[in-house]
A and B are shown apart, each in its own frame.
Chain A
Amino acid sequence: MNAARSRARLLDEAPRAVTAGVELLTESLLAQAVPVTSVDWRPPWPGTEASLMRVMADPRRSAANDRAVERMLASTAELVDVRPAHAALGLEPGRFLHAGPPLTWDEASGPMRGALIGAILFEGLSDSPSEAERMLADGRGITLEPCHHHGAVGPMAGVLSPSMWVFELRDEANDATAWCSLNEGLGKVLRYGAYSPEVIERLHWMSDVLGPVLHAAVRAHGRLDIKGIVAQMVQMGDEGHNRNRAGTLMLLRELLPHLVAGTAASSQTADVARFIAGNDHFFLNLVMPAAKLQTSAAADIPGSTVVTTMARNGTEFGIQVSGTGQQWFTAPAETPAGLYLAGYGPEDANPDIGDSAITETMGLGGFAMAAAPAIVRFVGGSVPDALSTSRLMYEITLAENPAYAFPILDFRGAPTGIDVTRVARTGILPQINTGMAGRVAGTGQVGAGLVKPPQACFTAALSALADLAAPPA
C-alpha cells in the first residue's frame, strides 16, 4: 500500500474501528455510532508469549509469508504420468517409504508394521509374514524413509515400495513434481495395515494391470488438470479428504474414452473402470499430490511462519514450517474421534496416521467441511458445525484460495496458509478429517472421524522460528 495514502486515510474518513480487549471501549465507540468489529481476544497459549513477540517482530516475516502465499496460490497440478516407484522415484529394492515424520521399526504402530510386512510380501522378499517381520526388525538391507523426504505422499501407512505404481504430478508454475501411490479401495487394504493374501493379490493386480492401463490412458489423454477437477469437486460436495466421490467420477470421465481406446484386453479395461468406479476414494491419491505441490511451493522461505506439512506416522504427528526448512516438529499422535465400522470401537483404533493431512495443509479436508455437507454426520456433526469449522479455519490461515471456492460460503476461497503464530495466538488447532486404522497389524480400517494435531508441534515450531528470527533492523 502506498505509504502516504494509507496514513492519510486515517483522517480523511470517519473512523471504522477494530477493537481488541476491554469491552467498555467497544461500547463507547458503538455509542458514538462508530462501526466496530470487535475481536474475541484471548491470551495466547501459555509459554508462547516470548516466542510470539520475537517472531511477530521479525522484519522478514510479513514479506516471507506474502511470498509463501503467492507461490501456493500460483501452484498448478497436472497428472503427467503413471509409472512404477522405482522408475519415478529411483526407489531401489529394500527401500520403503512411509507416511509421516521419520520412524524406526521399533517405534512403528500396528498398522504401520502391517503395511511394511505387506510390502515385503508384495515385493517377494519373503513369502511369510513372520519372516517379513523378522527382516524388518533386523533391518539389514532395509531402509525406511518418509514419503515427504522424496516429494511423495501416501495415505494412512503410506507405504511405497519399488514395484508399486505412482501418480506423477507436475506444478509448472513452481517447477516441481510430486508423487502418490494408487488407491486400493476401502476395507482390508495395505494402507490400513492389512497384509492378508487378498491384499497382496490386489497389489499385484494394481501393478500388473491398473498401473500400465492408467499409464497408457494418461499418455493418450495428455496432461490432465487435477487442480481443475479439485476446483470442481469442492463445488460438488467433496472436501477432498474423506469424500472424493465427485472427483473420482470426473477423473473417470476424463480417462474413460482413452481407457476404451487403449490396447488392453476389454476385460482388463472393464476391471479398471469397475475398480475406479467402485472406490470413492480413488481420487484422494490425486488430491494429495496436488496438495503436496501447493504446500511445498511455500517451503524454505526464511522468516515464513506458514505450515508446509502436517503428517502422521501412526506414532507421532509431525509438522514442517516454511521458515525452518525440512525440520520436523513432532509429538505423540492423538487418536481420532468419530464413527466406527460394525464390530469395532475406540479401543480398536490406532493413533492418527497418514500423509493425507496434506489436504488440510492445503485448505481442503477438514478446512473444507463447509463444502461437504453430505458427510457431516459421518464425522459426527451438523451442517452448521461444518460451516463454523471452515469459518474457524480462516482465523488461523493467511489467505483464501480463489481456485477452491465454497459455494455455501458465498464462494469464499479455501482457507490457505496455516500460520503458526495465529495458531498459538488463537489456540485454534487445524481440523483434520481422517480414516481410522485398527491398532493391531493386519486389521485394516475400523472407522473414520476427526482429529487435531498436538499443540506441542506448533509451540516447538514457534520456538524454533523465534530462535531464527532476525533482530529488528
Chain B
Amino acid sequence: MIFAESSTIIHLQGVTKEYPPDNIVFSNIDLEIEKGEFIFLTGPSGIGKTTLLRLLFCAEQPTSGEIWVDGVALSSLSNSQIPYLRRKIGVIFQDFKLLSDHTVFDNVALSLEVIGLNRRQSRKRVMQVLEGVGLAGKWSNYPLQLSGGEQQRVAIARAVVNRPAIVLADEPTGNLDQERTNEVMMLMEELNARGATVVFATHDDRLYENTHRRVVKLPEGKFEIS
C-alpha cells in the first residue's frame, strides 16, 4: 500500500511487538505522523520507545501490524532495500554511537560516503553541518577528545548531513546536563524548521511540558495521544 501525495510520512497500523515467550512490549498501536511534524514519544524507561524507533528504521520487525514510512510498507522491503530506506532517516542515540577511531569529520562524512559521495564532494557539506552544530573547529578531533555534549552534536551532524526527511532521536539528551540539553533541543527545533519530521523519544517530561508539540505517551500496553 502506498500513500501517494499523502501528508502522512509515518503510519503505524495495528502494530504489536512481542519477544517470545511472553514479553509483550506494546500491542495494536495505530499512529500517524505528518510530514514536517515534531512529536515527542514519551513514557517511562523500558516501555518500548526505543523498540518503536527501531521498528521505524527496520532494525527490528513488528510481530504483527504494518508500518509505512514515506509511503513504503516496511514489510514489503527486502533486506537489500532497507539501506535505501535508512538513508531517508537520520537516527540519534543516547550513547552517540560514534566511531572512536575516526575523526569528527570522518564520522559525519560516513553518511555521505554510503550514498556515493567522495571526500571532495562531501567536504563542503560536512563542514557546513559541523558549522551548524558549532564544531567546525573540531573536525579533526577524535570523539573521545570531545565532551558528551559535543559528541552528541557530532551524532546529530551525522544524522542530518544527508538531509533526511525523518529524524529519529532516541533519548538524545539522556547523558547531557541542562545546558547541553538545551543546545540539542535547539538543534532539533532547527532541523524541524528546515522541514525534517522529528520523532523525539524521551522520558524527561521537562522537555515537552511547555511545548505546543504533539506528545505521544507510551503507557504500558496501549497508546495515549495528547
**A and B found bound together:** no
| Interface residues, chain B, with chain A CB atoms under 8 Å away | none
